[in-house]
Amino acid sequence: MKVFVLLLGLIGTGWAEPILIHLKNGQTMDVELVGIANSAVQWRLSANDATVQTLSFTQISHVDFQPPDEWNDAVFALESGRFDEAVQRFRGIAAKPNNYFYPAPGNFASRAQVQLLQCFRGKLDAESAARQAEIVERAKPTLPPAERELEPIIRCWIAAGQSDWEGVLKAGDAIAEPTPERSFLRGRAFVALGQNGEALDAFAETYTLGFGDSFEMNREALRQSAELLEGLIEDEERVPELRSLVKLYAELYGKGALWEGASDYLKELAAEELETIGQPPAKVEPEAPAP
Amino acid sequence: MTRILTSLFVLGAVGSCWAQQATTTDPAQGYNLVVQAINNEKWDEGLGIVNGVIQAHATTGKEEFGPVFGHFYFLRGLLQMGKKNYDGAAKSFQTCYENFPNDKLVNKPGDKRGLQPNLFRIAALVQWANVEMFQEKWAEARDLYEKSLAEGPNDPRVNRTYIAVNLGRCYIKAGELEKGYDFISRPLGSDKASAGLKETIFFILSEDWSPEVKLPQVREFLDQFRGVATQCTPEERFEFNPRFRFLAQTAIEQSDPIRALAWYGVTVDPRVMAPVLSERIASIESREVQPEQAEQKRKILETLRGELAKLDAGYWDILNGVGSAHFQMQNFTASFVAFRELSDKAGTHELRPTFLHNVVASAAKTEKWAEAYKYGKAFLAEFPDHDLEPAVARMLVEVVFLRGEYQEAYDIATDVREGMEAGSSIRDIPDFITGASAFHLDRIAEAELELDAYRENYPEGERREPVEFYAGLTKVRLQNWPAAAEILNGFLETYPNSGMTPSALYQCAMSEFMIDELEAALAKVERVLTEFPDHDVAASTWNLKGDIFVSQELTFEEVEVCYLNGKRIADEKGDEPETAAYALWQLEIHSASLELWDRAIAFEAEFQEKHPESDYRFDFLAASLPTLVHAGRTGEALTRLRAAAWEFGDQPESSVLSEMFGTYFEFLKDNFETPAVIAELEEQRLKDDVPPALAGWLAVARIEMVEATAEEDQLANEVAVEFYKLQAKFDPAQQANFVIVQLARWLAREQRKPDEAKPLYDFILENRPDTVNYDYALLDTAEIQAQSDDPAEREQALAKFKRVITEIPNEELRELAVLGTARLYAKEKKFAEAQPFWEQYLDDRSWVVSRPEANYEYAACLDQQGLTEDALKIYVSVYANFPGHLDWSTRAYIRTALIMKQKGEELKALLVLRDMIQRMGHHKHPGVKQGMELFVKWKAEYQPAPKEASS
């Protein structure tokens, strides 16, 4: 009778693959997966073991499943910065939870929701990120512990998605170690609040301190910086700075051109020669890498 | 070396053909030993064997064994490569390839067994190419690689992929950039190519190709393939960092900051390795090892901890490069961010001084004054002796100056510029700040010197524009109106778009107004009012326009409009009460002078209501006196005047006290009878709490009233009584200069007590430089000392006269000082020294105090120096032009007569004396008496010459 009940609750079977179960008491179990029920994992010690055992989710911290190819492809798309493709792939995984060990904590359908949040951050899509954060919040029980707590920066994204600009600044202030991403969101908030000077500084923090970080974010920070400075400059003194911004954008982020809608003035500046001056005293001299 | 892809082969597999031979010159044994030596990197051992074999079979090997004997040359090439004998290796591989072709594998007809082929012929070609590549003979290597691909397309002993990569690199290095890029880059976009191959190609293109091509091509390359270097694990990316940093640093060195930032853009923040390393350390720490492995564990942990500790430094080095690149391209907002981060976080970095310097420079460029100040101060506190200290201080002084901290700016600037050459570019800003700060600190004379020096030393100075402005303002403050107008006009012409134009126009107009260039002043005033109607100087400019209209004697209505506008704008702005007060003062003056009493009363009421504490309140009070009198408020006016005098009555050096007491005294004289005036003065003086300074003024006022009213025969006594009263308990420290000088003069001139007068003058000279009447004290003291018998005193007198002549812009005093100097030299019979002073005196025709004396004494100087004829003419002019000045005219007559007599012209001498007696004989003057006595004596002695008698 007991087995019968379990079978009724069985969501997926037939994986027969190794998994690592992390118990809440800190122990781990290297076993073979048999199936996932509504509230338990079915497992056996090995393929030769005829005894199938169950372990309630209440005893399990999370399970390390073998990542399926769909998951690996989606992660690769995300890490390659192909955010739209990654969104498609993760949504595909999330849409078929039964195929990806749901609702076991550590299942890929739930984890795909977390990755979707990363995709929206990568796409700088605050509204989607804010909505996705709520979904992730609801998915917490089925996530591995490391993914259950939202990073503090997500509070900034949620506020930005709700156009709560003061909230963005407040949430940003609560972040112990400021990051280029925080600066970027602060920059957006300052723009919305009309504090253009502060916004210019915040965007500069983004692309300067995040030199090897998000391509999308740095590109957007540069674009915003150029447009802000164009509106701020009153005399010739800062024109070289504006020129350097648009040239940097065009050469590194715009495939040689500026963004759609850039003013004619900025286009003219981007077409001019870059004016360089000598290095500052902290001179950078090439150091050959070790062979 | 690492970039050349070489393939070593499993050579043992081909050794079987010699298996039956057994000596070291035996090919089979030798072959196996050589392969073993190569595998063990025993190059010399291997070379010994292979050379032995080759030598033993040099002439017969090919015939005896066939092309396979070429293998020994191949092995020798590998050994020589190991020994870095590249020329030898190339030769060996060449021999293997060229001398041992596989075209003849049958030794003689019918030999079924045949000859063994040279299996390494293409491999030798490839290795030969590798050797050429090692030696950077790119074209030669290219040709050999191409040949290897053509001749051995399916040779299993060579790796075609690696050959292709090396060939591509050779194309690039040989200058065939496009061909090389096309040849080599294809695998980067291929799914089939391994990650390792892609990485190799990516770095060949990054390091060999990208520096040779323009930035857009690099951008396209990175746009397409950056993923090869960025879509991998943090550990892998971290490993790539040094190579990208090198590319970035090279770009910065070549002033190509965007390229540098492109490379920094593919680096990874080294700190991503922190969790990886921490986890590894924790894992090793928790691992229990056998005692014999403990040392190894310790070393591994030490290495890992060292790597972990260096992560921050790695980040800082990259950030320094990023900041420098932004700085180089003048994106100072970004360079500020980078160097601020470094200044805040890399507190112990050896480059901290330069980080601080750079953040200050970037902050100054983006007008982040607070930050520039903060980091500049930190630099000076931490690195006072650093080489960059002058440069930081130079920036800091301007920041401090802009913050309005003028004393600090002045102190830093003067300190910083020590040791810098005047006129050098590095001293430019400190010199400007010194002058401008001195101006703001009210050290106007010093400001003038500094700013004038700047204008001289820096014709193209960085701060020429503000310096011209400040120089103009300084002249205004010194009331040197012509110079102010000249400088400010120059400023307006040179910097027509300056932000300081409205202020310059106003100050220039004011200066021109002061030198009566009214049209020019008015034109500038109109410019301010039409072009900058909302500027801060607008209200003052309306007032100035009113002043100009007054000078042009326009109607009151026209004048009134100006001052009313000045008052209105100042009231609206709310922060210029003094400008509004000035306008009211002027309106009061002009309405009262025209007896427009209603308006005058209204202005007076408005002033009392709105500006009772204004700096103009005393001027206004003076101006409103006629109005108050007209309104029947004379008592009120007197009360206010009295109160003003009492308010400053304990401040002996106050100019307000002197001015208000003067106004009070004049008001008394104008509006009250003399007895009432005297009574008022006496009443005030006798009050118990009358302050000493005010009491002094009351005393000299009373003396003036006594001088005006006393009977002539009583005058001296009554004046003396008043001065005695003043002198009682007289403390010069509590008295105004005017009162002190009055008393001193009375003592010196009336009482003939110069010794009592001199301490009073000395008090002023020693304690009150640059105060009113100081110059009088200086001259009076000089005159007293000039009378002394002590040569040292007279020397001091000369020095004081000289100070008056050179330092005091007062013509009256300068005249007396020149006169005093000339007299002193004359008294000391230093005629040569006296002569130029008499000449100076006579040259200025406006000096009239003692022209007869000057003429006579000048003649006397010439006379004493033997120029008698020249002197004679002047003596004659003295008694001819100044007969009434008996002291000098009688002396001139007598000296003329004496000269005549000395020349033997006795009759002419008598005639001169007779002329004198006829013109002046009625005067009881010692000179006249002397002349008469001489005439009598000479006449008695006179014996006319015959011709003279007959005539």
**Among candidates A76, A81, A241 on the partner chain, residue whose Cβ is nearest the Cβ of B330:** A241
Asked if residue B19 has pLDDT above 70, the reply is: no
Beta partners for A31? A19
Residue-wise pLDDT for B839-862, tens only, equals 999 999 999 889 999 999 999 999
Asked if residue B368 has pLDDT above 70, the reply is: yes
Q: What's residue B96's pLDDT?
A: 92
Q: What's residue B205's pLDDT?
A: 94
Asked if B462 reaches chain A (Cβ–Cβ under 8 Å), the answer is: no
Beta partners for A29? A21
Identify the band that residue B419 occupies on the pLDDT scale cut at 50, 70 and 90. Answer: confident
Residue-wise pLDDT for B924-944, tens only, equals 899 999 999 999 999 998 877
Residue-wise pLDDT for B188-227, tens only, equals 888 888 888 899 999 999 999 999 999 999 999 998 998 8
Q: What's residue B941's pLDDT?
A: 87
Asked if residue A5 has pLDDT above 80, the reply is: no
Separation between Cα atoms, residue B891 and residue B208, nearest integer Å: 108
Identify the band that residue B770 occupies on the pLDDT scale cut at 50, 70 and 90. Answer: confident
Stated pTM of the model:
0.62
| Most A CBs within 10 Å, among B134, B244, B269, B328, to test the A interface | B328
Residue-wise pLDDT for A75-102, tens only, equals 989 987 889 999 999 999 999 888 888 8
Q: What's residue B227's pLDDT?
A: 87
Asked if B328 reaches chain A (Cβ–Cβ under 8 Å), the answer is: yes
Could you say which residues from 343 to 382 on chain B have a Cβ atom under 8 Å away from some Cβ of chain A? 351, 354-355, 357-358, 361, 366
Chain B residues in contact with A288 (beta carbon < 8 A) = 246
Asked if residue B488 has pLDDT above 90, the reply is: yes
* B267: nearest CA partner in chain A: A212
Q: What's residue A3's pLDDT?
A: 32
Chain B residues in contact with A289 (beta carbon < 8 A) = 242-243, 245-246
Share of chain B above pLDDT 70, in %: 96
Asked if A256 reaches chain B (Cβ–Cβ under 8 Å), the answer is: yes
Residue-wise pLDDT for A20-79, tens only, equals 999 988 888 888 888 888 788 888 888 777 788 888 888 999 999 989 999 999 998 998
Residue-wise pLDDT for A133-144, tens only, equals 999 999 998 999
Do B338 and A291 lie within an 8 Å CB cutoff? no
Identify the band that residue A118 occupies on the pLDDT scale cut at 50, 70 and 90. Answer: very high
Separation between Cα atoms, residue B527 and residue B506, nearest integer Å: 9
Residue B365 has which token pair? Answer: 């460029």
Asked if A241 reaches chain B (Cβ–Cβ under 8 Å), the answer is: yes
Q: What's residue A271's pLDDT?
A: 93
Asked if residue A14 has pLDDT above 80, the reply is: no
DSSP secondary structure letter of residue A289: P
Element housing B634 (H / E): helix B634-647
Q: What's residue B760's pLDDT?
A: 94
Asked if residue B316 has pLDDT above 50, the reply is: yes
Phi, psi of B605 (to 5 degrees): -65, -40
Chain A residues in contact with B249 (beta carbon < 8 A) = 284-287
Asked if B541 reaches chain A (Cβ–Cβ under 8 Å), the answer is: no
Separation between Cα atoms, residue B545 and residue B155, nearest integer Å: 102
Q: At what angle do helices B121-134 and B86-99 cross, to 10 degrees?
A: 150
Identify the band that residue A283 occupies on the pLDDT scale cut at 50, 70 and 90. Answer: low
Do A281 and B358 lie within an 8 Å CB cutoff? yes
Asked if residue B113 has pLDDT above 80, the reply is: no
**Among candidates A241, A281, A283 on the partner chain, residue whose Cβ is nearest the Cβ of B331:** A241
Q: Are strands A60-64 and A40-44 parallel, antiparallel or unpaired?
A: unpaired
Identify the band that residue A291 occupies on the pLDDT scale cut at 50, 70 and 90. Answer: very low
Residue-wise pLDDT for B345-356, tens only, equals 998 888 999 999
Chain A residues in contact with B334 (beta carbon < 8 A) = 204, 207-208
Asked if residue B9 has pLDDT above 50, the reply is: no
Asked if residue A11 has pLDDT above 60, the reply is: no
Residue-wise pLDDT for B718-742, tens only, equals 889 989 999 988 999 999 999 999 9
Do A275 and B329 lie within an 8 Å CB cutoff? yes
Chain B closest CA to A243's CA: distance in Å?
9
**Among candidates A80, A212, A255 on the partner chain, residue whose Cβ is nearest the Cβ of B265:** A212
Residues composing chain A: 291
**Among candidates A218, A280, A286 on the partner chain, residue whose Cβ is nearest the Cβ of B358:** A280
Asked if residue B25 has pLDDT above 90, the reply is: no
Which residues 6+ apart lie within 8 Å of B864 measured at CB? B829, B831
Chain A residues in contact with B266 (beta carbon < 8 A) = 212
Chains A–B, number of C-beta pairs less than 8 Å apart: 151
Asked if residue A198 has pLDDT above 70, the reply is: yes
Asked if B4 reaches chain A (Cβ–Cβ under 8 Å), the answer is: no
A4-28: average pLDDT? 66
Do B250 and A276 lie within an 8 Å CB cutoff? no
What does the angle CA B711 – CA B715 – CA B717 come to, to the nearest 5 degrees? 130
Residue-wise pLDDT for B597-614, tens only, equals 999 999 999 999 999 999
Residue-wise pLDDT for B621-677, tens only, equals 999 999 999 999 999 999 999 999 899 999 998 888 999 999 999 999 999 999 999
Q: What's residue B947's pLDDT?
A: 58
Do A276 and B328 lie within an 8 Å CB cutoff? yes
Q: Which residue has tokens 């932004």?
A: B326
Identify the band that residue B16 occupies on the pLDDT scale cut at 50, 70 and 90. Answer: very low
Q: What's residue B713's pLDDT?
A: 81
Of B11-20, B183-192, B318-327, which has the strongest mean pLDDT?
B318-327
Asked if A283 reaches chain B (Cβ–Cβ under 8 Å), the answer is: yes
| Most A CBs within 10 Å, among B319, B337, B345, B465, to test the A interface | B337
Identify the band that residue B107 occupies on the pLDDT scale cut at 50, 70 and 90. Answer: low
Beta partners for A19? A31
Report DSSP letters for B385-446, one per residue.
TSTTHHHHHHHHHHHHHHTT-HHHHHHHHHHHTTTSPTT-HHHHHHHHHHHHHHHHTT-HHH
Report DSSP letters for B265-320, one per residue.
TTS--GGGHHHHHHHHHHHHHH----GGGHHHHHHHHHHHHHHHHHHHHHHHHHHH
Of A102-111, A212-221, B513-522, which has the strongest mean pLDDT?
B513-522
B585-594: average pLDDT? 95
Chain B residues in contact with A81 (beta carbon < 8 A) = 227
Could you say which residues from 101 to 160 on chain A have a Cβ atom under 8 Å away from some Cβ of chain B? none
Q: At what angle do helices B577-593 and B597-610 cross, to 10 degrees?
A: 160
Chain A residues in contact with B224 (beta carbon < 8 A) = none
* A80: nearest CA partner in chain B: B231
Identify the band that residue B4 occupies on the pLDDT scale cut at 50, 70 and 90. Answer: very low
